[in-house]
Structure 1
Amino acid sequence: MAQKVLISVVGPTAIGKTKLAIALAQHFEAQILSADSRQFYMEMQIGTAVPSKEELITVPHHFIQHKSIHDTYSVGDFERDALKVLEQLFQVGDTAIMVGGSGFYSDAVVYGLDHFPETAAGVRDNLNERYRADGIEVLQNQLKELDPEYYESVDLNNPHRLVRALEVCISSGRPYSSFLNLPKIPRPFKCVTVGITAEREIIYDRINLRVDKMMKEGLLNEVKALVAYKDKNALQTVGYRELFRYLDGSIDLDFAVEEIKKNSRRFAKRQLTWLKKNNEILWVDYQDDLETIVVQIEARLK
């Protein structure tokens, strides 16, 4: 039986993951699974850099806008669903491609989820109440004190992630990060993770250009249509949160756009911090051609 292979394409936001994933899918005659948790939601398109209609037609994609912001969809749900899709794809082919900037979701498929202890009753409710009363900075500061390692890699603007980590820290008396990356059940396929990188200045320039492009494409109108749902967890993300502040009169539009760029750059830095901990990643330059990358993937598989 031929070896089954999952090629996972990772890297910071705006680095060109979608382009490479499609090129690899065409080369290996494979289909693509999106592991970008922001692209799961049908109401969010411009601000999440969903692949264009032309790109989606070029190669079959899975987990693109398949959920609503009103749905609850966890990383555990994604792990389960992605493994089912991979099982189906491997019945008809030997290779599948996964792509996304959500390292937690990619790792869930490649390595399996970490298991955490039971949490004490009421802790989550108390943390959520503190967040509503005092804002996200209180949670950020507490996490920095209780788990400085996870603080360096988590999306600090995602209250759901902060509350979950603090809930485990407080209930167990141990850092959330101490439960991460423990031995997992082996997968029935081999995985090569390809990380795209570039000099920091180039990454930041690409992010700034992408934000400008999103605004020209109508991101503000997309956000206006979602104002009534701004408290939904799916919308607690860069690009939406800043424009909600503009729409409620807290900041002006130019400042909001600059905040999107700044927070996107910070997010990219955290993505790289997460990825650099994985010694198994095959790093390639954002300008490397497909042939060069394929040769490196095939060498890794041997």
Structure 2
Amino acid sequence: MPITTDPSSPASLHRAIYLTGPTASGKTGVGVALAQRLDAEVIAMDSMTLYRGMDIGTAKPTREEQGGVAHHLINVLDPWQAASVADYRGWAIKVVADIESRGKRALFVGGTALYLKALLRGLFESTGTNRELRDALEDEYRRLGGAALHARLESIDPVTARRLHPNDRLRIVRALEVSATMGQPLSSLQTEHEHPAPATVPVFAIERPRPEIHARINLRVEQMIQDGLVEEVRGLQSGPQPLGPVPAQGVGYREVIEHLEGRLPLDRAVECIKARTRQFAKRQSTWFRGLAEVRSWPVPDGEASERTADRLAQLLIAVEN
């Protein structure tokens, strides 16, 4: 069956500004200051801040931290719901159109690399939907468990399997369905859309020395615990429905859940969160270096967010003029 490029590689996404970087690099503060200088509105480019109630563990910007700048695509899902990259991209297209209709700029700020790539390069659309096969795979997942279907996916498409947790039922089932229907692994189909966005699209990744990122991560995690991360997770787990499989695997949330279930002492959970966050930041940096569109933006130790934003704004204004 044919594969078609997402019809929208809308030009609007290529008119937007993108600010990314590893976790704890200071994107939020710089993004707000940059938006103030460019009369822009911020669109969160983060898969976890989509969820309501997941505030502390996602470092979701508070109203005060938003500095009067409109923020979009935050708190749009309940924590037991699921959303695909395609869902996010569709929402983003609509938000950009709304922002531009009011004469403002769209500024994406966040560190979810898959979202960034989808916004810049588009997604493939599979016309192969096999409801009978999907139902059969769903039934197998229920009977055999996530580990069994994840192992099957690993034998068919190890690239996709590596980025999915065995509890991620929706994406595992979809990957198996697409591979069977299209006759190719999902990861192979996705690589057909590797063409970089135009060189004129402004994409900047904040870069700090690794020791500084690690120190910032340690401080952030300790502050999250002080701010009530354990209580936040306890409240989410006792809500109308427990956390869905994707948010439950979020950095910090998985470890606190294990603590609340009596499987991990709190001090050990904190150290695990720090270590896993450091690993996540390293993977993010690797992702950004692999995207041709991304321009590294070094930030000197101690530089205020406002000064970083000044430097970025000056460059953007000079290029556009």
TM superposition score category, shorter chain reference: 0.7 to 0.9
Alignment of 1:191-230 (within 5 A): 191-228=201-238, 229-230=241-242
Q: 1:277–1:115: structure 2 CA closer, same or farther, 3 Å change rule?
A: farther
2:168 is matched with: 159
Q: Alignment partner for residue 32 of structure 1, among 21, 38, 42?
A: 42
Aligned letter for 1:18? T
Q: 1:89–1:275: structure 2 CA closer, same or farther, 3 Å change rule?
A: same
Cα pair 1:157 1:237 within 8 Å, conserved = no
Query: What is the CA–CA distance in structure 1 between the aligned matches of 2:182 and 2:141, rounded to whole Å?
Result: 15
Mean Cα deviation higher: 177-186 or 233-242: 177-186
Query: What is the CA–CA distance in structure 2 between the aligned matches of 1:203 and 1:155, rounded to whole Å?
Result: 26
* Structure 2: gaps (5+ residues): 1-11
Alignment of 1:120-131 (within 5 A): 120-121=133-134, 122-127=136-141, 130-131=144-145
Query: Could you tell me the TM-score, scaled by structure 1's length?
Result: 0.82
Matched residue SS, 1:88: helix
Query: What is the CA–CA distance in structure 1 between the aligned matches of 2:285 and 2:142, rounded to whole Å?
Result: 28
Aligned letter for 2:64? E
Query: What is the CA–CA distance in structure 1 between the aligned matches of 2:207 and 2:139, rounded to whole Å?
Result: 39
1:294 is matched with: 313
2:250 is matched with: 237
Deviations 1:116-168 (A, max 9, x none): 45464323543465545x48xx83x666654454566x365873555544554
The structural deviation recorded for 1:27 is 0.9
1:43 is matched with: 53
Alignment of 1:1-302 (within 5 A): 5-93=15-103, 95-116=105-126, 117-118=128-129, 120-121=133-134, 122-127=136-141, 130-132=144-146, 134=147, 139=150, 146-150=156-160, 154=163, 159-160=168-169, 161=171, 164-169=174-179, 172=182, 174-183=184-193, 191-228=201-238, 229-233=241-245, 234-287=247-300, 289-298=308-317
Matched residue SS, 2:65: helix
Query: What is the CA–CA distance in structure 2 between the aligned matches of 1:258 and 1:129, rounded to whole Å?
Result: 36
Query: Could you tell me the TM-score, scaled by structure 2's length?
Result: 0.78
Cα pair 2:32 2:69 within 8 Å, conserved = yes
Mean Cα deviation higher: 9-18 or 170-179: 170-179
- Report percent identity of matched pairs: 34
RMSD: 3.2
